Structure 1
Amino acid sequence: MTLSYSSTLTDLFNLQRRGIKLGLEHTIKLFDEINNPQNNFISIHVAGTNGKGTTSALIQKILISSGRKVGLYTSPHLIRFNERIRVNGKMISDDDIIEFFNRIQSSIELIKSTFFEVTTAMAFDYFKKQKVDVAVIETGLGGRLDSTNIITPKLSVITPVSLDHQNILGEKITDIAYEKAGIIKKLVPVIVSKQIKEVDKIIIKKAKQQKSKIHRVNYNLLTKVKLNAIGTSFYYDQKKYSIPLIGKHQVENAILALEAVRVFDRTIRLNYCRQGMETIVWPGRMQNLKKNIYFDVSHNLSGIQVTIDTLKKVFPNKKLVALMSLKKGKNINKISILVTNYFKKIYVFNNSSELLMSGKELYKALSGKTNNSIELDSIKNCINKLKSDVKNGYIALIFGSHYIAEEIYKALEISFDAEII
């Protein structure tokens, strides 16, 4: 039997060897073993390609401000596994993780459950135990066949859909939209962000099949968006809001969260919405780590483009440098074409990660498009180069992956307090 936190996490992460199994068959079996905790709390289900984590966190913060006890399930984490499962912003404890894993370990082996199936079960079991009023649930991958789709939520939310994970979800944008729209349940309202026409058609078709009412964000009500180096302010429906997140895309996440909360409970007061949004802390999203050094976990073509656009908007006359890292399987060719158009220097580093592309692979792709790619032997050396560049007037961006966060914080000697989210 697993007894320690470290050995529990080792056993848990070893389940990743079973890969990703799309479909709810194993999830249903596992949840039956723990008496279907998802039936004990109200939920809001959030899917999409970009912005779904931030939108989920914003919804959670507003609901907490309104006096509710709120669960939040997101993925992946930046530093600690516990970040994925929260109640009123506080992470699940090490002891709760150990207890749950020990309790269902035999079922995990019998059913051959995957890593994400188990973490989803852990989250929902914890929310039941904590007697949350509502849980905000971010999908892991896709939607239709994602483990989180075992819930029947009070509300579904779909953030912008674009190309990502094509090797799993399908090559076409319409394939991906079909998977995301799979979270729409019968008679459950759905809030939809701005989508391209092909995606919108599929969402509308699914909503009609499920007799679900579609609610739209009215972008005509969005005015006076102002960005600076620490946050963004805007007016929506003639009311002013501020968020400590940088970028027009974060404003779009915020107004999507506002509309979601309105549909969820129209009695929630304006001051709760403002308070929730003003106090959000969401690391790794255009996060200002040091003066003129930013970190963003954007990792697909559309997300990286938005991050670069934001940086150019905030610093219109500055030269940019970057430290790039990408997970294996990403479209390095298209991403390298994009980034070489903007950055004067792009640093990559050698690594032995099973998850990340090697420095040599990144350098090879970049060097075919620019002479400004630089391969170094460690993240620390890349960071030292960025520091030097910043002193010479550059703006630095670290981007491409969640999986380098811990090394980045260490290299910059930044403490990471996951409890503050």
Structure 2
Amino acid sequence: MSSQPVPCKNLHEWLSFLEGLHTSEIDLGLDRVLTVFRDMNIGKIAGCVILVAGTNGKGTTIAAMEALLQSAGKSTGCYLSPHIHFFNERVRIDGRNMSDETWVEAFERVESHRGQVSLTYFEFTTLAALFIIARQMPDFALLEVGLGGRLDAVNIVEPDVSVITSVGLDHQDWLGEDRESIGFEKAGIMRPGGVCVYGEVNPTKSILQQASAQNVDLRVFGRDFGVLDADSEPATETMTDSPVFLAQNSAQQPIPDAPVPVSYQMADGDFVRTVLSEQSIPVSNRLCAIQALALTGVRLDKIDIDHCLSLISVPGRFEVDKNNPKYIYDVAHNVHAAEYLSRLLQATRQRRRGKIVCLFSALKDKDSKGIVSLLDKTVDSWAGWPMQVDRALSLAQLTAVLGDNATNAECLPTLGEAVVRAENIACDRNDTIMVLGSFYAVAEVQSFLTNRANRSRGVDEKGIEV
């Protein structure tokens, strides 16, 4: 197949072209994208492919695997979505974002094979990402599923290991109204006779049924790997007896005063015990990464796992602003994520002993009421603003959400006013401003603060003196 040349000179023009290419932003199904993928003849993209799906924790789990693999001397190619600031963040090769020129070349290749097939923005960029990674042929390709799993464009790739980090309520319009329906969609990344790692103690029946029907080797957090029971002695030794795990998800486990003993299983069936220190990254995400890699045969016992993972900083995941530590950013946009965030905020209050103010905005299709009512027990004040994106809650809608579900809240017409309000409340050095609700919310606030700091220093957004 061949298409007419598209007069796109740079990455910005290509992204604008892609936004208007298809009739809808989301159009689940594999037929169209698989047709172009086969015509591109991409073939094998890496020595080992790991697909990661889940309501929350996908990007964090991939970041953990990437760090562990690099410490083990393995090359990596990562595909992530969405990005926070720059589109280039979506593909990393050995930890480096890809250049504009690399993306443009990949888009040109996809377009040259697209023909008359209509692709969504995500499908087109997924094909370009797979082309970029395949040209590098890394030891490991770590691919984040965009939405659901079964019908997501990333699922055209055959995985060596599949990972499902969690199943919670989000994107119900596309995936179904309950965990069972959503679990069925995410189970679609499993392959007959394959291996899958699941990151919660309570897998849905739909996942268990699909694993059984397809003879999948399913490893479940809290059953086959996880945090060891208090009676188990932590030790870095290999053992054959199955250990006893805590039957609790990360958000339910108490914050420990010392490193916690954990265990995972090697490809040969032996269990390995080690310890993980308390971090903002959920222990279940870290252990999913460890367990998935161990099943591929990577010798993690040769590296300092805990130290390696302690160095990870995932953008927008309880990210502390390096220039202004008062600010913490989290892209939590559903109740499932807010449950874990609540635990982190409680620990932050105990550590900093100051007020917690939330800068909050959200999209219309999210359970904003559930998020606010859950976190309001920990938050002292809220400052809301309407984001500058089409699907964002309006000022009136946001006012209603906060007014009905928060004890002390105020909504402002602009982000600038909301920031000023939050900073006036969180005026003590021990106070915290928590930015949450959406990838867009985090991006808007970080861009606003960066531009404000640049103006005060007399430079533009690129740091050039004006």
Could you say whether these structures have the same fold, taking a TM-score greater than 0.5 normalized by the shorter chain as the test? yes
SS at match of 1:53: helix
**Alignment equivalent of 2:408, drawn from 372, 382, 387:** 372
State the partner residue of 1:130: 136
Aligned-partner residue type, residue 318 of structure 2? M
- Counterparts of 1:165 and 1:109, CA distance in 2: 31
Aligned-partner residue type, residue 288 of structure 1? V
2:231 equivalent to 1:211: no
State the partner residue of 2:348: 314
State the partner residue of 1:323: 359
Q: Which aligned pairs between 1:22-421 and structure 2 lie closer than 5 A?
A: 22-38=28-44, 41-108=47-114, 110-196=116-202, 199-217=203-221, 218-221=225-228, 234-237=260-263, 238-242=273-277, 245-246=279-280, 250-271=282-303, 273-274=305-306, 276-289=308-321, 290-316=324-350, 318-370=354-406, 372-392=408-428, 394-413=431-450
- Counterparts of 1:170 and 1:226, CA distance in 2: 32
Rate the CA distance shift 1:339–1:90 in 2: closer, same or farther, 3 A. same
The Cα of 1:285 is off from its aligned counterpart by 0.8
SS at match of 1:57: helix
The Cα of 1:109 is off from its aligned counterpart by 5.9
The Cα of 1:385 is off from its aligned counterpart by 2.5
SS at match of 2:391: coil
In the superposition, the TM-score normalised over structure 1's length comes to 0.89
The Cα of 1:17 is off from its aligned counterpart by 4.9
Aligned-partner residue type, residue 46 of structure 1? V
Conserved in 2, the CA contact under 8 Å of 1:62 and 1:272?
no
Q: Which moved more, 1:384-393 or 1:233-242?
A: 233-242
CA RMSD of superposed structures (Å): 2.7
**Number of residue pairs matched?**
410
Rate the CA distance shift 1:40–1:88 in 2: closer, same or farther, 3 A. closer
Rate the CA distance shift 1:370–1:53 in 2: closer, same or farther, 3 A. closer
Rate the CA distance shift 1:17–1:358 in 2: closer, same or farther, 3 A. farther
Conserved in 2, the CA contact under 8 Å of 1:295 and 1:398?
yes
The Cα of 1:147 is off from its aligned counterpart by 0.8
SS at match of 1:322: strand
In the superposition, the TM-score normalised over structure 2's length comes to 0.81
More helix by share: 1
SS at match of 2:170: coil
The Cα of 1:100 is off from its aligned counterpart by 1.7
The Cα of 1:402 is off from its aligned counterpart by 0.6
The Cα of 1:282 is off from its aligned counterpart by 0.8
The Cα of 1:41 is off from its aligned counterpart by 4.3
Larger Rg belongs to: 2
Q: Deviations over 1:47-76 (max 9, x none)?
A: 111111101111111112111111111111
The Cα of 1:410 is off from its aligned counterpart by 3.0
- Counterparts of 2:229 and 2:317, CA distance in 1: 22
State the partner residue of 1:10: 16
Conserved in 1, the CA contact under 8 Å of 2:49 and 2:141?
yes
SS at match of 2:380: strand
Instruction: Give unpaired runs (5+ residues) of structure 2.
Output: 1-6, 235-252, 264-272, 455-460
Conserved in 1, the CA contact under 8 Å of 2:369 and 2:405?
no
* Greater relative contact order structure (CA < 8 Å, 6+ sep): 1
Q: Which moved more, 1:330-339 or 1:142-151?
A: 330-339
The Cα of 1:292 is off from its aligned counterpart by 3.1
SS at match of 2:439: coil
Q: Deviations over 1:332-373 (max 9, x none)?
A: 333333234432321111344213222321111221334622
Q: Which moved more, 1:272-281 or 1:355-364?
A: 272-281
- Counterparts of 1:76 and 1:16, CA distance in 2: 18
- Counterparts of 1:335 and 1:259, CA distance in 2: 31
The Cα of 1:39 is off from its aligned counterpart by 5.5
Q: Which moved more, 1:101-110 or 1:119-128?
A: 101-110
Conserved in 2, the CA contact under 8 Å of 1:340 and 1:366?
no
SS at match of 1:407: helix
Q: Once the two structures are aligned, what percentage of the paired residues are identical?
A: 28
- Counterparts of 2:196 and 2:420, CA distance in 1: 46
Conserved in 2, the CA contact under 8 Å of 1:227 and 1:314?
no
Conserved in 2, the CA contact under 8 Å of 1:41 and 1:128?
no
Aligned-partner residue type, residue 330 of structure 1? K
- Counterparts of 1:38 and 1:24, CA distance in 2: 18
- Counterparts of 1:114 and 1:187, CA distance in 2: 31
Conserved in 2, the CA contact under 8 Å of 1:158 and 1:193?
yes
Q: Deviations over 1:210-267 (max 9, x none)?
A: 1111123333427799969xxx954424533457x515xx222111211111111153
Instruction: Give unpaired runs (5+ residues) of structure 1.
Output: none
